[in-house]
Structure 1
Amino acid sequence: MDQGPGLRYQPFYCEENAWWLCADPALGPGARHVVFLVSRAGRCPLLHQRAAAPGRLIAWDYHVVVVDGQGRVWDQDSRLPLPSPGITWLDETFALADRLPAIYAPRLRVISAEAFRASFASDRRHMRDRRGRFQHPPPPWPAIGEGMNLVHYLDPAAPRPGLVFDLAAARRWLVDLASE
């Protein structure tokens, strides 16, 4: 399924959508980054996600977006424009973050698109129930890489891969990207 002209997209497979998206020429020139949205609670509340009713939070176990060289966020699961200016996306998506318990505070793990595409692997086991059935239909493309290393991206306390930002640091990073 496509979301936008020519973009690969499968609902509930944001990490795979990002893997394809970060190599897409539609993102324009400049360095690209993959951003994992996580929290210490193992649930990251976001607004404006199509899987939730308008105006309602959804708490994903994690979510993945791509940031292009102009500091724009490509969130294929958002109701916000695709792409959105990074600061606008950050402010709108996390507008209620300061009202939530600290354990739900978002952490943004930022990895270069090049490093992500070279190292990420998912055999999709995390999308299967106890009986081995998919909880949501898988994408039509083959699984990415060999094995499974998704867990390495999800722990906000782990020092790598990439860098982990809180909202204030993510804001500064996005401002810097947009001004380059």
Structure 2
Amino acid sequence: MATLNSNASSSSSSSLSPTLEASRFLHTPHYCEENVYMLCKNLSEDGIAKSDSSDLFVVFISNEKKQASSFRFISIWGFLADGVILWDYHVICVQNFKYGKGLFRDFRVFRIVHAPIFLRNFASDRRHMKDSDGNWNSPPPSYDVIVAQDGTVHNLNEYMEMSSADVVKTIGADTVETVLAQKLGVLVSETQLEELFSLIS
């Protein structure tokens, strides 16, 4: 995740469950895709999610312009930011889908990927976080790079590429089947999110 613009202040949520304290989970600023990858693993290992991660979904958020802004973005840690935050893309983990209209401002495309599939197939050697001279734009995580089960070393770009032209036309049982079976899941619009997750749950 590259933070392009931030005009926000954060405040802690007092209702955050002790079992979900942010300090329990690995987090590296500007590496949202890896943070979500590790979060899915940790939630499953800790018994907060199913052991096979089957109740978790990974959601990539972007559009053709590579602009994913949010007007009151609620993070997975329970913090609330007021103001406009603009990324080229963002990634979140969804367990129990709760949707509030206006949470996402402007049109976006959402790539919905089933977490077990994401954990097997996602790979990142972090090349996108280096400048043309090979210097880090932001310090990388301390753990090794993520390699897919088939040996792929980098495919983040496949998840990030999104176009409104590729958004599914209608949401139905076949859409859910695709989410639960395909490496790259499905692309949906903001207006289709609630309908899709209502069918999944």
Say which is worse superposed, 154-163 or 19-28, in terms of deviation: 154-163
Aligned residues of 1:123 and 1:148 also touching (Cα < 8 A): yes
Indicate if the aligned counterparts of 2:49 and 2:55 stay in contact, CA closer than 8 A. Answer: no
Structure 1, gaps ≥5 residues long: 72-85, 98-104
Choose from 118, 139, 142 the match for 1:140: 142
Q: Give the TM-score of the pair, scaled to structure 2.
A: 0.66
Q: For 2:159, which of 147, 153, 157 is the aligned residue?
A: 153
Q: What root-mean-square deviation, in Å, do the aligned CA atoms of Structure 1 and Structure 2 show?
A: 2.5
Change (3 A) 1:3 1:148: farther
Are the aligned partners of 1:43 and 1:62 in contact in 2 as well (CA < 8 Å)?
Answer: yes
Question: Which of 82, 98, 120 pairs up with 1:55?
Answer: 82
Does residue 1:42 correspond to 2:98, yes or no? no
Question: Which deviates the most, 31-40 or 152-161?
Answer: 152-161
Mapped partners of 1:41, 1:114: distance in 2: 29
- Cα contact 2:71–2:83 (8 A) shared by 1: yes
CA distance in 2, matches of 1:35, 1:173: 12
Q: How does 1:107-146 map to 2 (within 5 A)?
A: 107-145=109-147, 146=152
What is the Cα deviation at residue 116 of structure 1?
A: 0.6
- Tell me the equivalent position of 2:32: 14
Structure 2: give runs of 5+ residues left out of the alignment. 1-19, 75-80, 168-182
Corresponding pairs, count = 150
Per the TM alignment, residue 133 of structure 1 is displaced from its structure 2 partner at its CA by: 1.0
Q: CA deviation at 1:112?
A: 0.6
Is contact 1:46-1:59 (8 Å) kept? yes
Deviation by residue 1:119-148 (Cα, 9 ceiling, x = unmatched):
111000100111111111111111111521
Which residue identity is paired with 1:11? P
- Checking the alignment, whether the CA contact within 8 Å between 1:3 and 1:9 is kept in structure 2 is no
Give the percent of matched residue pairs that are identical in Structure 1 and Structure 2.
27
Distance 1:152 1:3 in 2: 31
- What whole-Å deviation, never above 9, does each CA across 1:64-87 have from its counterpart, x for those lacking one? 00111x32xxxxxxxxxxxxxx21
- Structure 2 residue 22 is the aligned partner of structure 1 residue 4: yes
Partner SS for 1:169? helix
Which has a greater percent of strand? 2
Q: Does residue 87 in structure 1 map to residue 62 in structure 2? A: no
- Structure with greater Cα Rg: 2
